[in-house]
Chains A and B, each alone.
Chain A
Amino acid sequence: MTPHSQREFLDPGVLARLSRLELQSRWPMEGNIAGRHKSPHRGASVEFAEYRKYVPGDDPRFLDWRVYARRDRFYLKEFEADTNLRCYLVLDASGSMAYANKFLLARKLAATLGYLAMQQGDAVGLMCCGASMTTDIAPRRKPAHLKNIFDAMAAAKPAGETGLVSALHAVAEKIRRRALVAVFSDLFHDPEELLHCFRHLRFRKHDLAIFHLLDRTEVDFKFDRPIRFVDMEDQSTIVAEPGVIYPRYREALDTYLDKLRRGCTEFKVDYRLVMADEDYEKVLADFLLARMRT
């Protein structure tokens, strides 16, 4: 991690304050080592889970001899298993993310979240998807791995058309075990296709968190004179009078957001609409606290 990139994404004060909170998954995770997250399997933690009848083949070490002494039957005493988490950060590096400070915000959110996950022993990976390049860094638990992730984030330049949909499908297929997939994007894509991706990820039992980044001007669309709008992804232009098309613009935007929200609710996706001018610390704090409450 270069000092420059460190300074750009990470604020030590924010990290210090957010370190008090835990990043928890909403569903049991499948890790390979013990961790802070529930596992779908029984394990050797101190938290009692249940009694189960002995069947041939069970390890006799887990027999509860006290119960055998009282009831003359073999029962196994089982405990909850805690495991670690795979946190997969998906960063949209399409041209549209260069508008205002959306990409910087996305990197701050992703970097901070990655740092927090790494701090609590979870594995962190990164997928940066743009038009020309896709950076894919597999999840690792080593703290030194953060450097690779931050370097990749620093090197990413938003340009070209988005490859988010294909990247999300690839992530869904690639990660075999349950993981937390955090997406940082403006999601300027067909909502039907996006929801199809989300469903795919949820079908694979991933915990999906969407940070939908929009700039305030993209929502308000308040301009006072005709403007030649240049598409930041394919450089196509549209000359329009904002005052004239405003109602229809808002109608299209609202329809899109509504569809997206409904789909995310249906597929139990942790969806958050983040304005580019919002305090990212607050956004992350809300995100973490909400997870801790569930």
Chain B
Amino acid sequence: MSFLQPFILWALPLMAIPIIVHLLNRMRYRTMPWAAMMFLRMATRQSTRQAKLREWLILACRVLAIAALIFAIARPLVGGWLGWAIGAAPDTIILLLDRSASMDVQDPTTHLSKRLLAIRRLSEAGKEYVGSSRFVLIESALRKPQEVASLAALETLSTTAPTDSAADIPALLDAALDYVVANQCGRTEVWLASDLQQSNWQPESRRWEAVRTRFGSLQQDVRVRLLALTEVVTDNVAVAVRDVQRRRTARGYELAMTVELSRNKTGTQALPLAVVHEGARSLVNVQLEGQRQSVQVALDLGQRKTEGWGWIELPADANPRDNSAFFSYPEDLHLKSVIVAENDVARRVLRIASAPTPALNLSSDTVAPGSPLKLDDVAMLVWQGAVTNVVRNFAETGGTVVVFPGSKSEDGKFRVTTWRRTDGPLANAKDGRILPLGEVAVTRREALLTPGTVLASFEDGKPFLVKQPVGKGAIYWCATLPVREWSSLDDGTVLVPMLQRILQEGGRRLSKADNNEVGSVVGQASCLSGRQGRVSTDAGVYQIGTKIVAVNRPAAEDEPDVLDEAAVRTAFGPVSFRMFTDKGGGSAALQSEIWRWFMVAMLIFLTSEAVLSLPKRAKERQWAS
């Protein structure tokens, strides 16, 4: 417990006043010779216990009333983060800081971001233990333990600066546990500051079970204290570029972008969207209706065939980190696919599906099985039958491969019932329409035993499409062939978008431009956009070798869902855990004064004292009457 005016506590001995007055009164009792002692003895014998108890209660009420008054004047700071700093100093205090983009939401009155507020709270609480405990900082972007010599300098460290990354809270706790085990810490306290964003906490993840198990197996006494900064700021709009495509037009090229705007509040809001491209700034006025809205923005590229980049900007609001979205677009790239299939019908269907129209600058070649393959300029390889090393090497270098079955395995009537609709080759269209995968009739299929991510599965649970990451690329395994004997995939409603998406994915390896999320790109990079930062933590457009990479904060960072206390408690389970929810980021919340409660307590004590005294007098009057 801390106090704003701690010197007032020197007045605490005044609590003894009622006791002293009580003792003085006892000493100063009027002495009276009394004859009728036999009645007095009878009366006191019956009421002594009750009277003594009441006397003690009255005395306690008086003492506590004075104590409450003194505490109220001393202006206590209890119940907040500062209030936690009680007890013996632990050996190590590990500060876990959520540095995700969502932590940079600023309080409208103090203009303090949650991240900054968390740092200050941690510093203030840690002051109590300076000199007796060791402070270790692990932040969410890099998750590397760093000993902190001075808590005062915590705010100025580069490792506490804002980032555009997402936080992985289970991984953060894992890093803390690794540190505890590796350094054989004694009694340890883990102070975690986070905004409880659901996408960062991933409460459904099985890693929480591992975290709980690790906490339980520790020999040290490790406690977790969570500072939850869950204040919801309504005046914030986030922008993200979800899709960037170069298109051919009658006049040349245009850049088609899907810009996603999301916000907390509802109602109509006019928003000027600034599009910056090659130093030129143009404004697009957008009328926001709901909480999440996609806007199609077209940028005329003229006859420009080379790659380029830019960004989209929103006016300043509560969170400056989500007001920019960077993009890069590729040069006018010819995407080539190679089809290697034994089945003639399948080969023809796959070739058409890979390059359905000449307008898209696509081409597909068919190669007979067993023939030598030249794959240097190929974006996608469509393969039927057993996979060879050539295919694997192609995937290793960043290409994408789609493998179709070569032999019959199982006949019957099969339906695809579940598939991943949010992303990947089977995702819904931009306008929300669902791929008609459920209407595909499969009469023959091959069991897929390859490990990987199941993107679609039949109603009996067996996989229809599996993605196996290999090196820089990936191999997609399909359970059926696009021929009549196998399935109705040959009608193209599913096959064409699926192959086109896989082709686009494979084309990245050939393009000089790429769009990525913060954290997925590491290495030496020079920032092309105005804001200077590191490619691993900050959004922007970077030059990496000959490639231009636009790096944006992860899409999940724009998700508004926040965990409630029950969900956090469930996540921690039996771990010794204490949570303080700070819903207000203002200066008042920093102090979190509770002197009013002490004043209320004082009134309660005084009222109790009066009540304890009154009834007997009433009885006396009754007897007297």
- Bound complex: CA of A227 vs CA of B44, how far in Å? 13
**B39 interface hit (Cβ, 8 Å):** yes
A241-B51, A245-B44 are contacts. A253–B620 as well, Cβ < 8 Å? no
Q: Which residues of B contact A241 (CB under 8 A)?
A: 51
Would you give the 0/1 interface string for A224-268, flagging 1 where the beta carbon is closer than 8 Å to chain B?
A: 011111111100111111011111111111001000000000000
On whether A240 and B616 interact (CB within 8 A), knowing A231-B37, A252-B39, the answer reads no
Total B residues in contact with A, Cβ cutoff 8 Å: 27
Report yes or no: B39 in contact with A244, Cβ–Cβ below 8 A: no
Q: Is the CB of A252 within 8 A of B42?
A: yes
A164 to chain B, nearest CB (A): 13
Question: Given A227-B30, A244-B616 in contact, is the A232-B35 Cβ separation under 8 Å?
Answer: yes
Tell me the complex Cα distance, A154–B34, Å: 23
Q: How far is the CB of A176 from chain B (nearest CB, A)?
A: 34
A230's partner among B34, B36, B620, B623 (CB-CB below 8 A) is B34
Q: Is the interface of A mostly helix, strand, loop or mixed?
A: mixed
Q: A238-B44, A247-B620, A252-B43 are in contact. Are A188 and B38 (CB under 8 A)?
A: yes
A243 touches B44 (CB 8 A): no
* Residue in A96, A226, A238, A244 whose beta carbon sits within 8 Å of that of B35 in the complex: A96
CB <8 Å contact, B44 and A240: yes
Minimum CB–CB distance from B23 to chain A (whole Å) comes to 13
Q: Does B449 contact A (CB under 8 A)?
A: no
Q: Is the CB of B29 within 8 A of A227?
A: yes
Within the assembled complex, what's the spacing in Å between the Cα atoms of A246 and B619? 9
Please name all residues of chain A whose beta carbon is closer than 8 Å to the beta carbon of B26 when the two chains form the complex.
239
Q: Considering the complex, which residues of chain B in the window 556-605 have a beta carbon less than 8 Å from any beta carbon of chain A?
A: none
Query: What's the nearest-Cβ distance from chain A to residue B247, in Å?
Result: 96
Binary per-residue interface labels of chain B (44-62) against chain A in the complex, 1 for a CB within 8 Å, 0 otherwise: 1011000100000000000
Q: How large is the interface on A (under 10, 10 to 19, 20 to 34, 35 or more residues)?
A: 35 or more
* A238 and B619 contact, CB distance less than 8 A: no
Q: How far is the CA of A233 from the CA of B619 in the complex (A)?
A: 31
A237 to B37: give the CA distance in the assembly, Å. 9
Closest residue of chain A to B55 (Cβ to Cβ) is A241
**A97 near B: Cβ within 8 Å?**
yes
Query: Which A residues have a C-beta under 8 Å from some C-beta of B?
Result: 95-99, 102, 186, 188-189, 214-215, 218, 222-223, 225-233, 236-241, 243-253, 256
15 other A-B residue contacts (CB within 8 Å) besides A231-B34, A245-B47? A96-B37, A188-B36, A188-B37, A215-B35, A229-B32, A230-B34, A232-B34, A245-B51, A246-B43, A246-B620, A247-B620, A249-B39, A251-B43, A252-B39, A256-B38
| 7 A-B pairs closest in CB distance | A96-B35, A99-B35, A248-B43, A252-B42, A229-B34, A249-B43, A228-B29
**Which residues of B are at the interface with A, using a C-beta cutoff of 8 A?**
25-26, 29-44, 46-47, 51, 616-617, 619-620, 623-624
A-B residue pairs in contact (CB < 8 Å), sample of 21? A96-B37, A186-B36, A218-B36, A226-B29, A227-B32, A228-B29, A229-B33, A230-B34, A231-B34, A232-B34, A236-B37, A239-B29, A243-B616, A244-B47, A245-B43, A248-B46, A249-B42, A250-B623, A252-B39, A252-B42, A256-B38
